[in-house]
Amino acid sequence: MEIVETEQHPDATRRAAWLAASAAAQRPAPRPGPRRGPRRALRRAVLVALAAGVLVGGVLLLRPDDGGHRAKPAAPGPAARALSAVAAGAPASVGDLTALITDRAAWVRTHPKDEASWAVLGSAYVERGERGADPSFYPRAEWALKRSLEVRPKDNQDAEIGLAALANARHDYAAARTLAEGVRARAENRWTLYPPLIEAYNGLGDAKGAAKAVERLLELRDGSASLTQAAEVYRAHGWREDATVAADEAVAHATSPVQKADALVAAGDLAWERGEPDGALARYEAALHADPGAHAALAGRARAKVALGRTADAQRDYQAAIARLPRPEYVLELGELYEAQGLDGDARTWFDKLRELTARDGSNGVDDALVLGRFETDHGAVHSALDRLEAEWRAHPSPAAEDALGWAMYRAGETEEALAHVRKATDSGVRSALFSYHQATIERELGQSGAARRHLQDALRTNPYFSPVFAPKAKEELAALGEPPGGGPRDVYGHVAAAAQAGPSESGPDSGSGGGGGGGGGTGSASSGTSSNQGTKHPARPRPARPAKPSQRH
């Protein structure tokens, strides 16, 4: 066989390839049925792969030669792989994204009226900035996406969705929600709008909106990326078992090393939050084995090693993660690890690095108010933190912002107001050992010993290793509170309540969970592990439309 290139210009074929891949990816995937042949989703995946192959190689035709041999098709190049990932809403590696950016930037220089290529260039810039924690790509992304809208102001949904993803990357969740909801109002079945919409809802603390959006996403598009996002929504609702199942299914359905690593990191984070450092460590190491560029797994592995007493190894992992993925939250964790060891000089070095990173992020439009406010609260700038976190909470009233604001208020001496905020955070459904510890500390300050004891137990039951600084303090505070007084809860005059004096057959099922002494006996709310959330109405659980198991797929 002899390979002959067609007369069609290769730049034109790249343009056609992107349009074909984008159109194929936008079609909703049909649900599998018992008597259907090969799924149309598989045929669409083939079309996307073929279109991506055309992107970098041009259109090639085969004609028989004298030898009768057939040439093997060339493997997709890095730009083609990144294009397929971007079109399918899946993660791509940093190297592949760089190749795609180079290819599209070269194209639009000679074809400035190609709005589709401007949109994919801007979206690739956003993804590249996120995967490398490099916000310098965000101004370029904004320029490319707005250029796409200038060329085509109406019905340019790719550019609008790209701008929503950019707003999320900059932590401007309100703007992201507005953009994504605007697309949804005109094209409800366009599945690519739902990932940025879900992230925006999570950032704004709208758990009900996120649950409805993820249900719709799973109806329109199954696969690893959708399941990974579903796991995050279930986690925010406190549905830890559902979150774990979704994350494990995301691992099983991954179609690339990068996708598999992302799902394994999500599964590792869930295991860590459950206080299972061995399970978390295994998942993080599997993620690094699948994709050595999964630098978030290095930070996760460091957390797990701290819990397992491997502090020196943890420090090396943190430093390696920060060198490749300089996220301020990783720097804060490493600084507090040194602080917990009494190495204040090393801790200050990393805290200075934290300030540098947040200043860098701010110069590129990224709002790091939450992590910077947490740092300032615990490290000497309480009033600055209070102003910063109050503004953040008003703009993005998520459970994380609610808890951080409450803790800053407590540090500033506003104890009563602080308790109201941290209670809202713990009642949100998120199972967070840090939230429970903050509530317990404030309750103890207010003399509410029973409630403080109960929430300290909650924190240590949820994750006994949740912080190298605060987990040891939680154990000390619980020991200082001692056992609850005998005889059950007492009334305002100090007398034991009648229900508590009655025998087991006479007392109600909730007799162990009332008043100040309910947490110590391990009954009532303590047995379920959700004491701080009792009586809270959560959004209805969505019906996850999960894809078939691998063995059931064609």
Give the span between the Cα atoms of 88 and 281, in whole angstroms. Answer: 30
**Tens digits of residue pLDDT in 292-341:** 999 999 999 999 999 999 999 999 999 999 999 999 999 999 999 999 99
User: How much is the pLDDT for 425?
Assistant: 95
Please compute the mean of the pLDDT values over residues 503-523 and round it to a whole number.
Answer: 38
* DSSP string across 505-541: TTS-TTGGGSTTTTTTTT-THHHHT-GGGTTPPPPPP
**Choice between 36 and 92, residue whose per-residue pLDDT is larger:** 92
Q: What sections of 221-327 are H helices per DSSP? A: 224-236, 240-252, 257-273, 277-290, 295-307, 311-324
User: How much is the pLDDT for 530?
Assistant: 40
* DSSP string across 428-483: TS---HHHHHHHHHHHHHTT-HHHHHHHHHHHHHH-TTS-TTHHHHHHHHHHHH-S
For the whole model, what pTM was predicted? 0.77
Among 69-73, 368-372, 377-381, 483-487, name the one with the lowest average pLDDT.
Answer: 69-73
User: How much is the pLDDT for 261?
Assistant: 95
Percentage of residues in the chain having pLDDT higher than 70: 71
Please compute the mean of the pLDDT values over residues 376-404 and round it to a whole number.
Answer: 95
Phi-psi region of 538 (alpha: psi -120 to 50; beta: other; left: phi over 0): beta
**Per-residue pLDDT for 517 more than 70?**
no
**Choice between 463 and 2, residue whose per-residue pLDDT is larger:** 463
User: How much is the pLDDT for 86?
Assistant: 60
Give the span between the Cα atoms of 305 and 309, in whole angstroms. Answer: 6
Angle between helix 10-26 and helix 94-110 axes, rounded to 10 deg: 120
**Per-residue pLDDT for 127 more than 70?**
yes
**Per-residue pLDDT for 232 more than 60?**
yes
Do 13 and 55 contact (CB within 8 A), yes or no? yes
**Per-residue pLDDT for 136 more than 50?**
yes
**Per-residue pLDDT for 490 more than 50?**
yes
Residues forming a β-bridge with 62: 3
**Choice between 46 and 498, residue whose per-residue pLDDT is larger:** 498
Average pLDDT, the chain: 80
Quickly state the pLDDT bin for 236 (edges 50, 70, 90): confident
User: How much is the pLDDT for 84?
Assistant: 62
Do 392 and 376 contact (CB within 8 A), yes or no? no
User: How much is the pLDDT for 321?
Assistant: 97
**Per-residue pLDDT for 504 more than 80?**
no
Give the span between the Cα atoms of 220 and 241, in whole angstroms. Answer: 23
**Choice between 262 and 79, residue whose per-residue pLDDT is larger:** 262
Please compute the mean of the pLDDT values over residues 169-176 and round it to a whole number.
Answer: 97
**Choice between 79 and 271, residue whose per-residue pLDDT is larger:** 271
Reference 231, options 217, 216, 213, 214; nearest CA is 214
User: How much is the pLDDT for 237?
Assistant: 87
User: How much is the pLDDT for 72?
Assistant: 46
**Per-residue pLDDT for 174 more than 60?**
yes
Give the span between the Cα atoms of 176 and 196, in whole angstroms. Answer: 7
User: How much is the pLDDT for 89?
Assistant: 58
What's the alpha-carbon Rg for the chain, to the nearest Å?
26
Do 5 and 58 contact (CB within 8 A), yes or no? yes
Quickly state the pLDDT bin for 175 (edges 50, 70, 90): very high
**Per-residue pLDDT for 208 more than 80?**
yes
Q: Position 186: which residue type?
A: R
Residue 383: other Cβ atoms inside 10 A: 12
Among 85-99, 152-166, 305-319, name the one with the lowest average pLDDT.
Answer: 85-99
Do 113 and 151 contact (CB within 8 A), yes or no? yes
**Per-residue pLDDT for 34 more than 80?**
no
- 82 CB burial (10 A radius; 0-12, 13-18, 19+): buried
Residue 298: other Cβ atoms inside 10 A: 24
Do 217 and 228 contact (CB within 8 A), yes or no? no
Do 291 and 258 contact (CB within 8 A), yes or no? yes
Among 170-184, 246-260, 420-434, 479-493, name the one with the lowest average pLDDT.
Answer: 479-493
Please compute the mean of the pLDDT values over residues 100-104 and round it to a whole number.
Answer: 92
Quickly state the pLDDT bin for 67 (edges 50, 70, 90): very low
Residue 26: other Cβ atoms inside 10 A: 19
